[in-house]
Amino acid sequence: MTKARIALFIGILCISIFPVIVRMNLTSGLISAFYRMAIATAILLPVALYKGKLGLKNRKLILPIAICGILFASDIAVWNISIQHSSATQATLLTNLSPIWVGVFSFVFLNYRPRKSFWLGTLIALMGMMVFVGVDTILELKLDTAFFLGVLSGLLYALYILVSKTVLEKVEVITFITYSMIFSTVFLFIVNIAFGEEFFWFSSQAWISLFVQGIVCQLIAWLLISYATQNMRATRVSLSLLSQAIFAALLAAVFIGEKITPVQMIGSIIILAGIATTFYEKKKQEIA
């Protein structure tokens, strides 16, 4: 499963750019989410058509794929709004509770009992995340709208990972991503219309950021992450996604001048140790 792990690593690097762009506040959170999906869809759809990847042997899969599209679109929109109405650190912390939800949902709904290494790795990684964001951030958490949006984002993220895992067992990655993004784009278009968002007249810098989000953060990133999800355990993928907080901090330091503190470095090491814990066990039947 080396290819799947490499794909996951590169995919996480790609999505780690996203928080940095959102922090720039060049467009609203809802518009950012819409163009992220729309640009990626506009690029991938012709390729999928040319390659003949839009055929579905089982048309019943359209419904779960549509659910995946709506879940993902909702997660991106909610997370964007959460960042813009609180701090990026708080939003990142709450969203990254998703590995816990993945483990719980897997046990309750899929009758899958996550390994002890997953729970141990999750505990270590979450301890690292708390060190990374700082005790002050945790103590200052307010039970306001932004807080609940952050929690909701984590729930939506977890549901997307689990549902997409079951669908990807029956559908090719390109087919799944194309249909999923079409549903995401349509859903977000309707949401933006409902909220009266402006679709044009952005600055040149804003348009560049939207294209980076669509091509790098969405198209490239989620083709790779979906491939990894197809070939790895959903619990392991969700926990590995915690590392995006580390890469986001590094990218923020490079592009917007944010400083990386010694405490963040220690937290990063603990997070990576937690993720590594889930990859430690030797398995007779390798799924991930």
Which residue has better confidence, 270 or 83?
Answer: 270
Q: With bands split at pLDDT 50, 70 and 90, how would you rate the model's confidence at 276?
A: confident
Q: Provide the domain count of the chain.
A: 1
Average pLDDT over residues 228-249: 78
Q: How many alpha carbons lie under 13 Å from residue 15 in its C-beta half-sphere? A: 21
Question: Any idea what the Cα angle at residue 100 is, between residues 36 and 14, rounded to 5°?
Answer: 30
Q: With bands split at pLDDT 50, 70 and 90, how would you rate the model's confidence at 166?
A: confident
pTM to 2 decimal places? 0.79
- Over the range 217-242, which residues count as b (16 or more CB within 10 Å of their CB) and which as e? bbbbbbbbbbbbbbbbbbbbbbbbbb
pLDDT digits (tens, 9 = 90+) for 68-103: 999 999 988 887 777 666 555 555 666 666 677 777
Instruction: Write down how long the chain is.
Output: 288
Q: Is residue 286 part of a domain?
A: no
Q: With bands split at pLDDT 50, 70 and 90, how would you rate the model's confidence at 224?
A: very high
Q: Is residue 245 part of a domain?
A: yes
pLDDT for res 187: 96
pLDDT for res 267: 80
Q: Does pLDDT of 282 surpass 60? A: no
Which residue has better confidence, 248 or 208?
Answer: 208
pLDDT digits (tens, 9 = 90+) for 168-194: 888 999 999 999 999 999 999 999 999
Q: Any idea of the CA torsion for 251, 219, 78, 249, to the nearest 10 degrees?
A: -10
Q: Does pLDDT of 23 surpass 90? A: no
Average pLDDT over residues 128-145: 68
pLDDT for res 285: 44
CA 21/CA 80 separation, integer angstroms: 10
Q: Is residue 287 part of a domain?
A: no
pLDDT for res 48: 93
Q: With bands split at pLDDT 50, 70 and 90, how would you rate the model's confidence at 142?
A: low
Q: Which one-letter amino acid corresponds to residue 149?
A: L
Residue by residue, DSSP assigns 65-82 as: HHHHHHHHHHHHHHHHHH
CA 86/CA 11 separation, integer angstroms: 26
Q: Is residue 221 part of a domain?
A: yes
Range of the domain at 205: 2-278
CA nearest to 89, candidates 150, 37, 33, 7: 150
Q: Where in 129-198 does DSSP place strands (E)?
A: none
CA 91/CA 68 separation, integer angstroms: 22
Give Rg (Cα) of the chain.
Answer: 18
pLDDT for res 31: 92
Average pLDDT along the chain: 81
Average pLDDT over residues 37-54: 93
Phi/psi at 61 (5° precision): -75, -15
Average pLDDT over residues 200-226: 92
Q: Is residue 140 part of a domain?
A: yes
Q: Is residue 227 part of a domain?
A: yes
Q: How many alpha carbons lie under 13 Å from residue 111 in its C-beta half-sphere? A: 0
Question: Could you identify the residue written with the tokens 């949902």?
Answer: 105
Q: Is residue 115 part of a domain?
A: yes
Q: How many alpha carbons lie under 13 Å from residue 17 in its C-beta half-sphere? A: 18
Q: Does pLDDT of 287 surpass 50? A: no
Q: Does pLDDT of 244 surpass 60? A: yes
Q: Which one-letter amino acid corresponds to residue 206?
A: A
Which residue has better confidence, 60 or 84?
Answer: 60
Contacts of 282 (CB under 8 A, 6+ apart): none
Which residue has better confidence, 229 or 91?
Answer: 229
Q: Which one-letter amino acid corresponds to residue 79?
A: W
Q: Is residue 283 part of a domain?
A: no
pLDDT for res 252: 73
User: Do the beta carbons of residue 137 and residue 87 sit within 8 Å?
Assistant: yes
User: Do the beta carbons of residue 164 and residue 229 sit within 8 Å?
Assistant: yes
